[in-house]
């Protein structure tokens, strides 16, 4: 498996547009902690960035011998809002950005059945450039419950469209995220997001879901026990023969822990599971 760290680690949970680390600082953090790649987000570089900024980012990443596993090219996709699917109507700028950064995956957003035809068309264009579109297991999207995720993937039925498996969003929707679920979704998994939480009726964070209404939880560091059962997730990935990208998608620590220390502790913990 290839270990990647998301630019999310340089963002607060609710502040997804302002980075607390520069890209060189984030890349140095990744190298020092032993990550092989970064997962690019719009808080660092997106389709809104200038050509000069994108070229500079590419050199910053290459100088440190890092790869870019995936791009999330705009803030509407990041926020999973009603404008998120607009990327499907003009995927070219996202493909251009992914190509410059040598990223093989682009995260997209789908909210309604009307997005299916658009994603097929966008995936046709991405196939011409050897890039795959992927959608995260995510609340308030067509990819909220396991049954819906499998149904949508079968309906889209495109070799250049896949899934970002993410246990925390599945748990928030009261879905199983263990080996049985992973086996069902394995043919489409192209990336695995990892973030940790503990469900709590009086939790610090509340998110709305379509399937189960508001869900509250507390954010935890990935190595902290009592939240997502990561050994169970990795058992499922191994049983399914998954040997692809694993991305630390945790937001910046809110307990005062330095992001570099958090990234290093997380990488060390995950290597025991690899």
Assign residue 145 the CATH number of its domain.
3.20.20.150
Rounded CA-CA distance 59/57 in Å is 5
Whether the predicted pLDDT of 257 surpasses 70: no
pLDDT in tens, 27-80: 999 999 999 999 999 999 999 999 999 999 999 999 999 999 999 999 999 999
37-94-91-161 Cα dihedral, nearest 10 degrees:
0
What is the extent of the structural domain holding 159?
Answer: 2-273
- Please state the rounded mean pLDDT for residues 111-137: 97
- Please state the rounded mean pLDDT for residues 92-114: 97
Percent of the chain residues topping a pLDDT of 90: 90
- Number of domains composing the chain: 1
The pLDDT assigned to 14 comes to: 61
DSSP the chain: -EEEEEGGGGS-SS--SS-SS-HHHHHHHHHHHT-SEEEEETTTS-TTS-HHHHHHHHHHHHHTT-EEEEEE-SHHHHHT-TTGGGGGG--HHHHHHHHHTT-SEEE----STTHHHHHHHHHHHHHTTT-EEEEE--TTSTTSSHHHHHHHHHHH--TTEEEEEEHHHHHHTT---SHHHHHHHGGGEEEEEE-EEEE-TT-SEEEEETTTEEEEEEEE-TTSTTSS-HHHHHHHHHHTT--SEEEE-PPPPSSS--HHHHHHHHHHHHHHH-
pLDDT in tens, 183-234: 999 999 999 999 999 999 999 999 999 999 999 999 999 999 999 999 999 9
- Most confident among 5-14, 124-133, 258-267 (mean pLDDT): 124-133
Mean pLDDT of the chain: 95
- Please state the rounded mean pLDDT for residues 128-141: 97
- Please state the rounded mean pLDDT for residues 230-259: 89
pTM: 0.95
Task: Grade residue 19 by pLDDT with cuts at 50, 70 and 90.
Answer: confident
Long-range contacts of 202-206 (CB under 8 A, 24+ apart): 205/13
Whether the predicted pLDDT of 256 surpasses 80: no
């Amino acid at each position: 498996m290839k270990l990647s760290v998301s630019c999310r680690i340089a963002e607060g949970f609710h502040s997804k547009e302002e980075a607390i680390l520069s890209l060189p600082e984030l890349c140095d953090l990744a190298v020092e902690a032993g990550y092989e790649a970064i997962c690019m987000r719009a808080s660092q570089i997106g389709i809104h960035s200038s050509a000069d900024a994108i070229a500079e980012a590419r050199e910053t990443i290459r100088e440190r011998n890092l790869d870019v596993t995936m791009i999330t090219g705009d803030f509407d996709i990041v926020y999973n809002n009603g404008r998120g699917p607009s990327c499907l109507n003009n995927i070219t700028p996202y493909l251009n950005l992914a190509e410059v950064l040598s990223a093989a995956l682009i995260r997209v957003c789908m909210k309604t059945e009307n997005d299916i035809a658009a994603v097929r068309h966008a995936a046709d264009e991405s196939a011409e450039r050897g890039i795959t579109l992927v959608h995260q297991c995510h609340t308030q999207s067509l990819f909220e419950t396991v049954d819906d995720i499998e149904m949508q993937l079968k309906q889209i039925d495109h070799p250049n469209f896949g899934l970002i498996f993410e246990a925390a969003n599945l748990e928030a929707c009261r879905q199983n995220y263990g080996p049985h679920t992973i086996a069902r979704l394995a043919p489409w998994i192209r990336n695995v997001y990892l973030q940790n939480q503990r469900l709590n009726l009086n939790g610090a964070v509340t998110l709305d879901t379509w399937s189960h209404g508001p869900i509250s939880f507390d954010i935890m560091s990935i190595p902290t026990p009592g939240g997502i059962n990561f050994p169970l997730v990795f058992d499922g990935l191994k049983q399914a023969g998954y040997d692809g990208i694993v991305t630390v998608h945790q937001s910046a620590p809110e307990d005062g822990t330095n992001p570099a220390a958090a990234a290093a502790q997380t990488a060390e913990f995950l290597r025991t599971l690899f």
